[in-house]
Amino acid sequence: MDIQNTQKLRTALKHLIIGTLKLEDITIEEISDDAPLFRDGLGLDSIDALELVVALEKKYGIIIENEDVGRRAFASVAALAAFVKKERTKLPN
């Protein structure tokens, strides 16, 4: 996957969220790029966050170091895509 293509990355992240958390009654079209992932948005909780951290580490090789970083990264799909792109540029090829 071309990590630089923002829309493809956002779509891939939506698929990752739905698949990892087994959100069977939601489609990628129903997840707004800018809606919060927690509370009023998708309504995810801290257990969901842990599952997503593991999935992101496996798929993209990135590390979410602490809760503050996670809070910023998981603000929305758009924020998560920006975080993944930024962290991937730091990784050795």
CATH class of 6-90: mainly alpha
Confidence class for position 15, pLDDT limits 50, 70, 90: very high
Q: What value does the mean pLDDT take over residues 1-13? A: 81
Q: Compute the distance between CA of residue 89 and CA of residue 81 in angstroms, rounded to an integer.
A: 13
**Token pair recorded at residue 85:** 């792109």
pLDDT in tens, 21-77: 999 899 999 999 999 998 888 889 989 999 999 999 999 999 999 989 999 999 999
What local confidence, expressed as pLDDT, does residue 93 receive? 61
Q: Compute the distance between CA of residue 61 and CA of residue 73 in angstroms, rounded to an integer.
A: 15
- pTM of this prediction? 0.89
Domain residue ranges of the chain, discontinuous segments joined by +: 6-90
Q: Which of 84, 91, 55 is nearest to 69 (CA)?
A: 84
Q: Compute the distance between CA of residue 63 and CA of residue 84 in angstroms, rounded to an integer.
A: 9
- Residues 6 or more apart whose Cβ sits within 8 Å of residue 49: 38, 70, 74
